[in-house]
Amino acid sequence: MKIYLYNTLTGKKELLLNPKGKSLRFFVCGPTVYDYPHIGNSRTYVVFDAFVKYLRTIGYSVFYLQNITDIDDKIINRANTERTSWIKISKTFLDIYRRNMKDLGVDAVDSYAKATDHIPQILNQVRTLIENQHAYEIPNEGIYFDITTFPNYGKLSRRTALQAEDAVSRIDDGVNKRNKGDFALWKFSKANEPSWQSPWGLGRPGWHIEDTAITDKYFGPQYDLHGGATDLKFPHHEAEIAQQESISGKEPFVKIWMHTGFLTLNGQKMSKSAGNYMTVDQFLKSFSAQVFRLMVLSNHYRSPLDYSQRLGQENKARWLLITEFLAKLDLISKKSAIRRSVSLEKYLKSFDAEFTLSLADDFNTPKAFGILFKFISDANPKIWDLSKTAAYKTANEIKKNLKSLGFKVIFPEIPKKIQKLSSEREKFRRNQQFMQSDSLRKKINDLGFGVEDTPLGSFVWPLGAH
């Protein structure tokens, strides 16, 4: 299977090579742990979790690495506001991040690397950049990277050096910098700020250097895949390229760069700093982790996704539709005593082929889900005519494809009370006591469940799928 991915660096879809015998080295920028994870940054983590699981399913060995920014201005500011230590802030929010990722079924990461566990590697990189004259010291401020020493600065985000100078987003302050776009590699600590010893004085790492120090340690100076959301192209990823290529002289630093689109609220990027966010905990009060995954993957990873309660509801209904179909297939494959002849072999083969092809084309998950829903709507009218084997094979094929994207198929629990009402209703129906059976159907509906009369008895499912 040939996988093509859109590479931000070249602006083209490129073949992803399978480094047979070795692991594909994949790095994704992790969170700055100073606040609750929200559904915006979780979109990015769910996309890459699904992507890695998919690659592993089709035979790639992947080493998936993520950093944790556990020292940063934002962490220090929050600690000062709350009159607590930066260590307490970063530990608290790292724990919450880990719990939330578990809640969302995000577990494909092989290793989480904290910035503060890599100070020696960071200092090494800063030292090399000073020696190579890519970096300079500003007394009482820090060590800065001089962007004019790296002529390719801007090649990822396609900015000229001048545009890089004009950029304002998360560029370090500093009145004495040689160029406006120069960024900090090492920041000298002010009084009462966290600090580490360095040859240039007490200080702490800049934001960009932790990533290259970490990837250099685990992967070496060049690796296969790097991911993050689109806001990180500039200055963060551009700075990573400048640092690592200036240190090693090898390019490209990363073969393929993948960038996810934003999750937005009323068209605005959801972000901690803007305050327009919904936490993962808030989302999970209304919807399940599977609904979140479906909502995220029903949109192409590079396109923006505007969140609303309605979008959540729609995806809840779509997930119920998939699980209802699978529950019926399970029922047929276990219970059906009738030997029926309808098989979906031909449809199933083409469904599987098309689903697989869509994912191989720049991880086109919305197309894959379009194919799955078309298959379900074509197969649904014939479902009760399926043979036991056909039902079993169909359910297996769909479950396999869902699993490859990290879904867990869990059937909703039908409360005992509803099951009891449904059996009573079934008895009335068999005795042709339709008034009584209709009144029980209404009662079941009022409690949020639907009843379908099938050749295998009544089938009860939560309402909202249709």
Angle, nearest 10°, between helix axes 39-57 and 388-404? 120
Contact 372, 398 (CB under 8 A): yes
Pick the binder of ligand AMP from 113, 241, 270, 421 (CB under 6 A).
270
Q: Which of 55, 106, 143, 263 binds ligand AMP (CB under 6 A)?
A: 263
**Contact between 426 and ligand AMP (CB under 6 A)?**
no
Stretch that binds ligand AMP, among 217-225, 267-275, 354-362, 415-423 (CB under 6 A): 267-275
Categorise residue 251: left if φ over 0, alpha if ψ from -120 to 50, beta otherwise: beta
269 binds ligand AMP (CB under 6 A): yes
203 vs 228, beta carbon nearer ligand AMP: 228
Q: Does 299 bind ligand AMP (CB under 6 A)?
A: no
Cross-strand partners of 203: 188, 196
Long-range contacts of 365-372 (CB under 8 A, 24+ apart): 365/50, 365/297, 365/298, 365/299, 365/300, 365/301, 365/405, 366/297, 366/298, 366/299, 366/300, 368/401, 369/294, 369/297, 369/298, 372/322, 372/398, 372/401
Determine the Cα–Cα distance for residues 287 and 309; give it in Å rounded to an integer.
10
Closer to ligand AMP by CB, 231 or 352: give it: 231
Selected binder of ligand AMP within 150, 183, 262, 283 (CB under 6 A):
262
- Please identify, using beta-carbon distances, which residue of 75 and 376 lies nearer to ligand AMP: 75
Nearer to ligand AMP, 127 or 233 (CB): 233
Q: Strands 203-205 and 268-269, how do they pair?
A: unpaired
Q: Is 41 one of the binding residues for ligand AMP (CB under 6 A)?
A: yes
- The number of beta carbons lying within 10 Å of the beta carbon of residue 308 is 10
Contact set for ligand AMP, span 213-252 (CB under 6 A) = 228-229, 231-232
Selected binder of ligand AMP within 3, 16, 40, 134 (CB under 6 A): 40
Q: What DSSP character marks residue 342? A: B
Pairing of strands 263-265, 268-269: antiparallel
In the numeric block, which tokens belong to residue 146? 């001089």
Q: Would you say 129 or 184 has its CB closer to ligand AMP?
A: 184
CA 400 distance to own-chain centroid: 20
C-alpha pair distances (Å), 277 with each of 76, 266, 269, 274 = 21, 11, 9, 8
- Tokens encoding 373: 């829903």
Total residues contacting ligand AMP by CB under 6 A comes to: 17
Choice between 205 and 462, CB closer to ligand AMP: 205
Nearest Cα residue to 174 out of 149, 209, 137: 137
* Residue 43 within binding range of ligand AMP, rule CB under 6 A: yes
Among 215, 246, 271, 404, binds ligand AMP (CB under 6 A): 271
The closest alpha carbon to 362, from 61, 8, 30, 28, belongs to: 8
Least distance CB 454 / ligand AMP (angstroms): 42
Residue closer to ligand AMP by CB (options 32, 288) is 32
31 touches ligand AMP (CB under 6 A): yes
Q: Which residue is nearest to ligand AMP (CB)?
A: 40
With contacts defined by CB under 6 A, name the span among 50-58, 134-142, 264-272, 443-451 that binds ligand AMP: 264-272
Among 35-43, 117-125, 128-136, 215-223, the segment contacting ligand AMP (CB under 6 A): 35-43
Name which position in 7, 32, 215, 290 contacts ligand AMP (CB under 6 A): 32
Q: Which residues bind ligand AMP (CB under 6 A)?
A: 29, 31-32, 40-41, 43-44, 228-229, 231-232, 260, 262-263, 269-271
